[in-house]
Structure 1
């Protein structure tokens, strides 16, 4: 089966055909770094990390670019509130973002451009749009894009220009020639970061950053452009307008958008106090549990964040790790129905829930036959989802849970005592230690090579 991807622009699944056979250029809108990454950011990062892993496993050469917005109103305002420089703030949160990525086993993009490193390219793109009659410099030093100069504006989001125009009239801006126009270059206020330009001291608007960075890092045409569902309008709509007016050709072949994360079926937001950062969730759940949870729904569907759903993910992931204990992995079993079904699921618009269902079919066979080749295949296929990257013993020991403050050393000491009790045929004490540990969230696993344990 050839790779099928749902294209937001055409609203249908399409057979994916790279611009250059065998090579793929992917650009994903990244984080505006003024705070810690939240679970919605994590979903976008994990989804596209999984997309890239699968494409590479299927033999495609992928160039993956995900930008960082390091200049923005929110960043400037937060730096002012904190009484620190913009650079200090952004560097701190970029470092935090990378720590969160590492925890969730997210591979770094091939290129991670920052907006402030592409000021000349941004200015050149703005200048091109002015020269072609698609943009104009306002008296206050701002530069605006003429929305009505691009006839197909609204095609990605399905919005009609007349409806947009009616909504835009609410916001009166005397510097705009038309209420629908959006800013490409912003005149800087006093004490704000600024760069010299032909239009005066200023800084880039948000939308123009991505057109400049994607064009510089990949090219004027992209195979895939992705991001969160919330970026469809106006951000991605504006990117299309800028890029196509500047370069005169179709900007993106396939648009991919990741669904919202909801909390107890409500939209996640700070105002509702249901906003969770990645590092907050990591305090209570193993990173792979979080990753499993984020992939448990199809990427285009809403994902409901609840403790119950995280606990289900924890239980299911434990089943996969338990199967790895069935036998020592050998050479990966090749050309199996399991691998074919897994690839079929992932080739169908990256259907991770169906791919996970195949893993559990494989678990049943592993538990029945304990074939080393199937154990290795289970781990290999799960690795494509960024899962089963630890040994079972390491995973179970590192589970976050209620263990009443028991350290690893304390657990090991009780296991030594229990082993001696069993040697002395003191079955009562042996059972007492097992029950004591189980009550504190530690499960003992007796095997031929001794007793191992895991936090339950």
Structure 2
């Protein structure tokens, strides 16, 4: 079955056909390391991790590169603000970024190149553009001549005049055109700098992605380039111009862009007091799966609004899965399944439906609906141990594709397992004697300690609250 993706370049859904199947080359724009990563970064990191996981599940050999911008105006300004060396700042936040990846359970890229480690490739790229007449030198650096590249604007679908009115202009009175963007910036005396044919300086923002993506993916044409919708213009538009002007080849065949994240209906900003870092989220909720369940509830291309209420909804959804898993494990501990492995047609059909919706532009909300269809089906067949174990294994397989680990942080409880079992026996005795008031009191006491009782025919089971 083919996979279809929405291509921002053509503005339509297309069959995904890599240049050299089953190999797939993916490049995604990573973080700029001047501050803590927030949950907007988490959505970007997670979405493209899911796409990578799913392509691997569908037997593609994925080569995945995600850059780290470690030199930028934001980095220089933040280091000045904190009165520390920019290298110290970068070192701190690269370490924090990798800690965030670990606690979120998101895989590292096959390569995560740093801009400062690839200056030579960027200079070579700029020299190539100058040789072809696409770049020129000013007193402040080297600029790309936008109007010389005839396809400029094809990704964002804007004309030159539209762009000029809404562009983030880099001021330089010597530029040929206000839209021309910096390939190389001559550094001021107190700024980080590297040697170049144009004197000491540093790369512009856009050139790093064009140079590093082609270097580490070992190709002039990427299969897939991914990033946030806010990067379409000017960043991705400029990447295309730089790359295609040099090589004369299509830079990326498929462009995938995710929607942006707001907080309680507002853009995330420190000034509004609604800036939620990944660290903040984990300190509050302790479980990365909750954030993932929230992200999965909307299509990657759509905007999302983060609220505490939505995380509570995600918690309830995750609990439904965990309750079934817990039941399956406890049933397996008490009873032996019938001999011989069996395939259940109903479960196989649900699994096929999961693949079908994920093949349709990685439709995670539909995939999540399919997962809960499997949960409901398993609960209807709860007495059939073989069915339940098959459903459990299938659930784990599908959730692993989505990077949902089903890990629960062990909480310290006021009651031990032995005390819980003793209280359950006391409650059962109270119910036998029709002392329902006492039975209810025991249940509430356990619930206040985070223990949930579930009565089934002839027995009572318990689980710890998420």
Normalising by structure 2, what TM-score?
Answer: 0.89
For residues 292 and 423 of structure 1, the distance between their equivalents in structure 2, rounded to whole angstroms, comes to 37
Q: Give the conservation status (yes or no) of the 8 Å contact 1:332–1:380.
A: no
Q: 1:65 to 1:340 in 2, by over 3 A?
A: same
State the secondary structure of the residue aligned to 2:353.
helix
The aligned counterpart of 1:345 is: 357
Instruction: Give the gaps of 5 or more residues in structure 1.
Output: 399-406
Change (3 A) 1:40 1:20: same
Q: Are the aligned partners of 1:332 and 1:377 in contact in 2 as well (CA < 8 Å)? A: no
Q: Is 2:36–2:96's contact at 8 Å kept on the other side of the alignment?
A: yes
Question: Residue 439 in 1 paired to residue 448 in 2?
Answer: yes
Distance 2:76 2:47 in 1: 29
User: What secondary structure sits across from 1:293 in the alignment?
Assistant: helix
Distance 1:67 1:235 in 2: 14
Other-structure match for 1:401: none
Q: Distance in 1 between matches of 2:90 and 2:14?
A: 38
Once the two structures are superposed, residues 6-55 of structure 1 have per-residue CA deviations (whole angstroms, 9 ceiling, x without a partner) of: 00010000000111011100000000011111111000111000001100
CA separation of 1:171/1:139 partners in 2, compared to 1, >3 Å: closer, same or farther?
closer
Q: Which residue in the other structure is 1:31 paired with? A: 31
Residue 17 of structure 2 aligns to a residue whose secondary structure is: coil
Give a deviation string over 1:407-438, Cα, whole Å, max 9, x none: 33545575265257459869776643431232
Question: 1:361-380 CA deviation, whole Å, 9 max, x = no partner?
Answer: 11111112241112211111
- The match for 1:325 is 326
Does 1:359 pair with 2:368?
no
Change (3 A) 1:433 1:178: same
Cα offsets for 1:173-207 (capped at 9, x unmatched): 21312111100111111221110111000111110
The answer to whether residue 72 in structure 2 is matched with residue 55 in structure 1 is: no
Aligned ranges for residues 168-183 of structure 1 at < 5 Å? 172-183=171-182
Give CA-to-partner distance per residue, 1:124-167, whole Å, 9 cap, x none: 00111111110011123x11110011011011011111222345
Rate the CA distance shift 1:166–1:42 in 2: closer, same or farther, 3 A. Answer: closer
Deviation at 1:251, TM superposition (A): 0.4
1:384 pairs, out of 383, 386, 401, with 401
Q: Tell me the matched-pair count.
A: 443
Output the CA distance in 2 between the equivalents of 1:288 and 1:311. Answer: 12
Unpaired runs of 5+ residues, structure 2, are none
Determine the C-alpha separation between the residues in 2 that align with 1:455 and 1:352.
26
- Does the 8 A contact of 2:453 with 2:462 survive in 1? yes
1:335-385 C-alpha deviation (Å, 9 max, x unpaired):
711111000010000000000111111111111224111221111111111
CA distance in 1, matches of 2:461, 2:374: 26
Structure 1 segment 131-280 matched on structure 2, within 5 A: 131-140=131-140, 142-167=141-166, 172-218=171-217, 219-280=219-280
Name the SS of the counterpart of 2:70 in structure 1. coil
Instruction: Name the structure 2 match of 1:402.
Output: none
Partner of 1:404: none
Q: 2:260, 2:302 within 8 Å by CA — same for their partners in 1?
A: yes
Contact 1:144 1:182 in 2 (8 A): yes
CA gap of 1:192–1:411, structure 2 versus 1, over 3 A, is farther
User: Any conservation in 1 of the 2:169–2:179 contact (CA below 8 Å)?
Assistant: no
Q: Quote how far apart the aligned CAs of 1:168 are.
A: 5.8
Q: Indicate how the Cα distance of structure 1 residues 333 and 57 shifts in structure 2: closer, same or farther if over 3 A, else same.
A: farther
How far did 1:109 drift?
A: 1.1
Q: Secondary structure at the match of 1:326?
A: helix
8 Å contact kept, 2:453–2:460: no
Aligned-residue CA RMSD (Å): 2.4
Partner of 1:94: 94
**Aligned with 1:116: secondary structure?**
helix
Which residue is equivalent to 2:463? Answer: 453
Matched position secondary structure for 1:284 = helix
Call closer, same or farther: CA 1:273–1:454 in 2, change over 3 Å. same
